[in-house]
Chain A
Amino acid sequence: MYGFEAISHHNGWAISVVGILIVFTGLVTLSLLIRVFPKIIARIEDNGKPNAQSSSPQKTIPQSKKQEPSIDSSIKEAVRQYQYLISWMGEPFSLPRLIELAEKRGLVRPHATVSQMIHASVIQPDGKGYFLWHAK
């Protein structure tokens, strides 16, 4: 059996329509849930604030913040952007090439930012003239 007759005989039309609808339903629902994630998280964090204030001032929240990665908050966003560039380039990478890509991408003050990241040990030399990425 061939052609449309075979498709109809094996219920192919219905399977395909229902199948693609299920795939779309799954991913659309997931995307809607992802969209509300930040709001839910913000609400949870807002609800948590009064409790944190009402408890003793020596609560461990500031300490746990100190234990976060040692990347300076001023370059956190830059680290994220540069991480994409480096994932594209692969490691070890050449610094001039990284700066060139950052300039093409329109990132602000790439030389200064790269210098800051070297000081923060986010970018470290591999000893062979190239560099490695050390941000987590």
Chain B
Amino acid sequence: MDDILKLFADFWSNTGFALADYRYIIMIAVGLIFIYLGIAKHYEPLLLVPIGFGILMGNIPVFKGLGLAIYEDNSVLHYLYFGVTSGVYPPLIFLGIGAMTDFSTMLARPTLMLLGAAAQMGVFLTFLGALALGFAPNDAASIGIIGGADGPTAIFLSAKLAPDLIGPIAIAAYSYMALVPVIQPPIMRLLTTREERLIQMEEAREVSKLEKIIFPIVGFLLCCFLAPAALPLLGMLFFGNLLKECVVAERLAQTSRTALIDTVTILLGITVGASTQGDVFLTASSVGIFILGAVSFGIATASGLIFAKIINVFSKVKINPLLGAAGVSAVPDSARVVQMVGQEEDPSNFLLMHAMAPNVSGVIGSAIAAGVLWSFMN
């Protein structure tokens, strides 16, 4: 009888119930909130559902040494997490993004690209803020890139510069991307007048097929000669876009924008979520990263809006300043938010296609910013 009781006692001591502490419970609650937001509120479900479930997986308290937890060398999750820590997954996601992005609106109105550049000020201002708060330069650079509102770029840079902070940075970046419809509209309304929000954009010109084919080649050469450290991200982005536009490689483009990006998104979401193990994740620096991430995102949105207003001071043809908010590279959510806020004032104002121009240039801009920061920190 004693043997049986001892076996039960041993078994109990190895269960999650016995090993759990409050940090795991908090993180499980966070995971459930992510899943709820993804499923019930439709906030970036393709990201929040895998990340949310990954958080649950990472916060099952397990017996250390069995090779189960993501931070144990021989665990399956650890092998899958290698794609994050080595920076393999983000370029593959960029390949898919390139293969599904239509750059025509940007090619038709290149001036709007400046809004994508302006929004990157959020990255560098937050970098300064993180330095001021006592973060090391590498950590500060990784935190700053959250303002780019580009999850893969944030993961890529933090994998290179601050591997210990990948979890909080990725979670912060994806959380704010998912919350674009909540965070951006108040800033947009605050920084623009009703008259400005009513501005209608001129019809964009038609872009020829040849332009669309030449663009990824020229864009790649120019951007990567300027910021070679952005090569893994921009190389794959422009390559994916060339596959899409050249038509003759449609099968490869189709795979890149469907099966490949979906597979990588699943692996990335699950492992990033699992990396938020309560005892490793719940620290003061994670809280600091979340606060700075929100600030960074707000500054990026405001920078784009203000820059659009500055352009209007000097330009004869006025642009709707709301488009500046799409300079953050949360594609296509921030463009949708611009459309939504614009149509609140005037239902006949159709800004979506115009907002895609700063939106996709923001993707290029944040990748350049990441490359620049990486090269400076090395």
Interface of A toward B, CB cutoff 8 Å:
1-4, 6-7, 10, 12-13, 15-16, 18-20, 22-35, 37-38, 41, 77, 80, 84, 88, 104-106
Indicate which residue in B117, B123, B125 contacts A24 across the interface (CB closer than 8 Å). Answer: B117
Contact between B226 and A25 (Cβ–Cβ < 8 Å)?
Answer: yes
Determine if B353 and A6 form an interchain contact, defined as CB atoms under 8 angstroms apart.
no
Extra A-B contacts (16), CB below 8 Å, given A20-B121, A27-B361: A2-B133, A10-B140, A12-B128, A12-B137, A15-B127, A15-B376, A16-B125, A19-B124, A19-B127, A23-B120, A23-B372, A30-B219, A37-B107, A37-B211, A37-B214, A38-B211
Give the CA-CA distance A31 to B116 in the complex, in Å.
Answer: 11
Contact of B222 among A29, A37, A106 (CB under 8 A): A29
Question: Are B134 and A6 touching (Cβ within 8 A)?
Answer: yes
Describe A's contact surface by its main secondary structure: helix
Q: Closest approach, in angstroms, between the C-beta of A85 and any C-beta of chain B?
A: 8
* Contact between B373 and A19, CB atoms less than 8 A apart: yes
Q: CB-defined interface of B67-85 with A at 8 Å, one 1/0 digit per residue?
A: 0000000000000000000
Q: Is B107 touching A23 in the complex (CB atoms < 8 A)?
A: no
A16 touches B127 (CB 8 A): yes
Which of B128, B353, B365 contacts A7, CB < 8 Å?
Answer: B128
**CA–CA, A51 and B136, complex, Å:** 63
Q: Is B272 an interface residue (CB 8 A)?
A: no
Chain A residues contacting B372 (CB-CB under 8 Å) are: 18-19, 22-23
Residue pair B131, A10 in contact (C-beta under 8 Å): yes
Task: Among B128, B206, B365, point to the contact of A16 (Cβ < 8 A).
Answer: B128
- Which chain B residues border A28 with CB–CB below 8 Å? 113-114, 117
Q: Which of B181-189, B261-269, B344-352 contacts A (4 or more CB under 8 A)?
A: B344-352
Is B292 an interface residue, CB under 8 A from the partner? no
Chain A residue at minimal CB-CB distance from B111:
A31
- B110 at the binding interface (Cβ < 8 Å): yes
- Is the Cβ of A12 less than 8 Å from the Cβ of B117? no
B contact residues, total (Cβ < 8 Å): 47
Task: Indicate the member of A4, A24, A30, A41 with the most B CB atoms within 10 Å.
Answer: A30
B217 → A minimal CB distance (Å): 11
Given contacts A23-B369, A31-B114, A84-B353, contact A10 B137 (CB under 8 A): yes
Residues on A with C-beta less than 8 A from B127 are 12, 15-16, 19
Which residues of B are at the interface with A, using a C-beta cutoff of 8 A? 106-107, 110-111, 113-114, 116-117, 120-121, 123-125, 127-128, 131-134, 137, 140, 206, 208, 210-211, 214-215, 218-219, 222-223, 226-227, 339, 347-348, 350, 352-353, 361, 364-365, 368-369, 372-373, 376
Q: How many Å lie between the Cα of A23 and that of B361 in the bound state?
A: 11
Distance of A12 Cα from B376 Cα, bound (Å)? 10
Q: What residues of B have a CB within 8 angstroms of the CB of A23 in the complex? A: 117, 120, 365, 368-369, 372
In the bound complex, residues from chain A placing their C-beta under 8 Å from that of B211 are 34, 37-38, 41
Contacts of A80 in B (CB 8 A): 206
Closest Cβ of chain B to A46, distance in Å, is 14
Q: A27-B361, A31-B114, A105-B348 are in contact. Are A20 and B353 (CB under 8 A)?
A: no
Q: What is the distance, in angstroms, from A91's C-beta to the closest C-beta of chain B?
A: 14
A13–B215 CB distance below 8 A: no
Chain B residues, CB < 8 A from A6: 131-132, 134
Given A1-B134, A31-B111, A31-B113, residue A26 in contact with residue B223 (CB < 8 A): yes
10 tightest A-B contacts by CB? A31-B110, A16-B124, A27-B117, A34-B110, A31-B113, A84-B353, A12-B131, A10-B137, A19-B372, A24-B117
Q: Which residue of A lies closest to B115 (CB)?
A: A27
The interface centre, meaning the residue of A22, A27, A28, A32 with most chain B CB atoms within 10 A of its CB, is A27
The distance in angstroms between the C-alpha atoms of A20 and B373, with both chains bound, is: 10
Q: Which residue of A lies closest to B104 (CB)?
A: A80
A19: B residues at CB distance < 8 A: 123-124, 127, 369, 372-373, 376
Sampled A-B contacts (24; CB under 8 Å): A1-B134, A6-B132, A7-B128, A7-B132, A12-B131, A15-B373, A15-B376, A18-B376, A19-B124, A22-B226, A23-B372, A26-B365, A27-B368, A28-B117, A30-B218, A31-B113, A33-B218, A33-B222, A34-B107, A34-B211, A34-B215, A84-B352, A105-B348, A106-B348
Contacts of B352 in A (CB 8 A): 84, 88
B207 to chain A, nearest CB (A): 8
